[in-house]
Structure 1
Amino acid sequence: MLLLCLDSSAVASAALVSGAGEVLGSFTSPDTRSHAEVLAPAVQRLLTDRGLAATDLDGVLVGTGPGPFTGLRAGIVTARALAFAWDVPLHGLMSLEALAQDADRAARGAGHPEFLVLTDARRREVYWARFATGQDGPRLVGGPGVAAAEQLPALPAYGRGAGLYADRLARPVREFGEAQPTASSLGLAAVRRLDRGEALGADTTPLYLRESDAKVPGARKRALA
C-alpha cells in the first residue's frame, strides 16, 4: 500500500507513506500564508523524486483538522481534487492523530496512561484532543474541542498549543512545545489504524471548530423610508 498524505491544519505538509510504516518522502513548509500555492508542486516533486506516478498510489489521505478556516481548506481541496483526477480512494483523518502518533512513545515511556495534544486555535485558545496510550498506538478518548488552556484537565500536554500556553497548563511537556501535525505522522497514524484492523474513513469534512470571520453581507438597508 502507498498513500499520498496531506495536512494543512497548521503547517503545509505532504508525504508518501507505505503500508509498512515507512516515510518514503516528505515536504513541510512553515509558511502559513501559502498553503494553496505550495502543496500541488510539493506533491509533484515527491512523486518525481521517487520515480512514481499517480497510478502507483493506493489512496490519498488528508488531515481534516481542527484548524483555521483558510489553511485547512487548502489541504482538503487539494486532496479531493487529486483523488478525483487520479481516480483513487480519498480518506480523511483528524489532524490531531498525527500529534498523538508523535507523542505516544514519549508518553508511554514516561508512564502516562493518558495525555493531551494541543495546537494553536488563536484568540488565546487551543484545539485539543485526549488520547490513551497503548502498545498498538494511541486511541482517542476525548475531543476534539476548542478551549482556553486553563480549562483542560491536568494531564501531560504535548504540541505547539502546550508550548504557547505552558504557563496556563498543569503539565506541559516542554520538549514537545513546538510539535505540530505533519502529513508524515498522519500517514503513520493511518497505518497503525490499519494494523489494528480499523478501516480508514472516507469523510473529509473539515473540522473548523470556529466559523470563518468572513461573512456573506446581508441586504443593503434603505437610506430613506
Structure 2
Amino acid sequence: MLVLAIDTATPAVTAGVVDVRTGRLTVLAERVTVDARAHGELLTPHVMDAVRDAGTSLDQLDAIVCGVGPGPYTGLRAGIVTATALSHALNIPAYPVCSLDAIAAGIDAGAPFLVITDARRREVYWAAYDGAGTRTDGPHVDRPADLDASLTERVEHAHPSPRGLVRAAREALLNDQPAAPLTPLYLRRPDVAQPGARKRVTVP
C-alpha cells in the first residue's frame, strides 16, 4: 500500500510517500520546508516531487493521510483542501489524523509527555500522552504558563513527519476502515470576521 502523507498544521509544509505494503512503514520520499507563509505555494510542488522521487505516480497511490491540526486557519485549509481534491480525483480514501498525534507517534519517550506546537498570540497547541504514545488529554490551546508543570518531558514546536502521520493512521489503513471526514481542528475562531453593519455618521 502506497500512502501519501501531508500536513500543513505547523509552519512546516510536509509531504511524503510511505510504503506500508509489507506491514512496515518505509518512507520512500519526503519534502519538508519550514515556512509559515508558503503552505499554499509549496504543498502541491512538494506532493509532486515526493511522488516522483518515490518512483511512482499519483494514480498508483492507495490512500492519503492528512494532518488536520490543531493549527491556524489558513495553513490547515491548504492541506485539507489539497487532500480532499486528490481523494476525489484519484478515488482513494483520505484519512484525518490529529497532527499532535502524528508528532507523538515518532517519539519513544517511555514516560508521559506533552507535544506542544506554536499557536501564535503567545499561546500553544498541546496534548498529553502516556509512555506508549496514546493521547490522554487534549488537544487544547492555552498559554504556556497554564500547562501541567508536573510533566517535565516535552516535545516543543515540532512538526509531523510523513512516517508519524502514517503511523498515527496505521490501524485504519491496515484494517481498510472507512475514512472519517477531514474536519479541521481549529480550536479557536479564525482571525478574519465578517464586518458588522456600518455606523450612521449623518443626522437625519
> Structure 1-normalised TM-score?
0.81
Q: Does residue 144 of the first structure (1) align with residue 142 of the second (2)? A: no
- Indicate the residue corresponding to 1:30 in structure 2: 34
The 5 Å alignment of 1:17-96 reads 17-19=18-20, 20-96=24-100
Deviation at 1:202, TM superposition (A): 1.8
Helix, strand or coil: the match of 1:159? Answer: strand
8 A Cα contact 1:159 1:180, kept in partner? no
- Indicate the residue corresponding to 2:185 in structure 1: 207
Deviation at 1:133, TM superposition (A): 2.1
- Amino acid of the structure 1 residue aligned with 2:163: S
Task: Name the Cα RMSD after superposition.
Answer: 2.0
Deviation at 1:200, TM superposition (A): 6.9
> Structure 2-normalised TM-score?
0.89
Deviation at 1:160, TM superposition (A): 2.7
What runs of 5+ residues in structure 1 fail to find an aligned partner?
Answer: 162-178
Q: Which has the higher helix share?
A: 1
Aligned equivalents of 1:160, 1:217: Cα separation in 2: 36
Helix, strand or coil: the match of 1:210? Answer: coil
Classify 1:34/1:195 alpha carbon distance in 2 versus 1 (closer, same or farther; 3 Å). Answer: closer
Deviation at 1:181, TM superposition (A): 2.2
What runs of 5+ residues in structure 2 fail to find an aligned partner?
Answer: none
Corresponding residue to 1:187 among 160, 166, 171 = 166
- Indicate the residue corresponding to 1:168 in structure 2: none
8 A Cα contact 2:106 2:163, kept in partner? no
- Amino acid of the structure 2 residue aligned with 1:150: A
* Deviation digits for residues 78-121 of structure 1 (CA, Å, limit 9, x no counterpart): 11111111111111000001211122x1x11xxx1x21111111
Helix, strand or coil: the match of 1:116? Answer: strand
Deviation at 1:182, TM superposition (A): 2.9
Classify 1:219/1:50 alpha carbon distance in 2 versus 1 (closer, same or farther; 3 Å). Answer: same
Deviation at 1:196, TM superposition (A): 9.0
Deviation at 1:42, TM superposition (A): 1.3
Helix, strand or coil: the match of 2:145? Answer: helix
- Indicate the residue corresponding to 1:160 in structure 2: 156
Identity of aligned residues (%): 41
Classify 1:200/1:143 alpha carbon distance in 2 versus 1 (closer, same or farther; 3 Å). Answer: farther
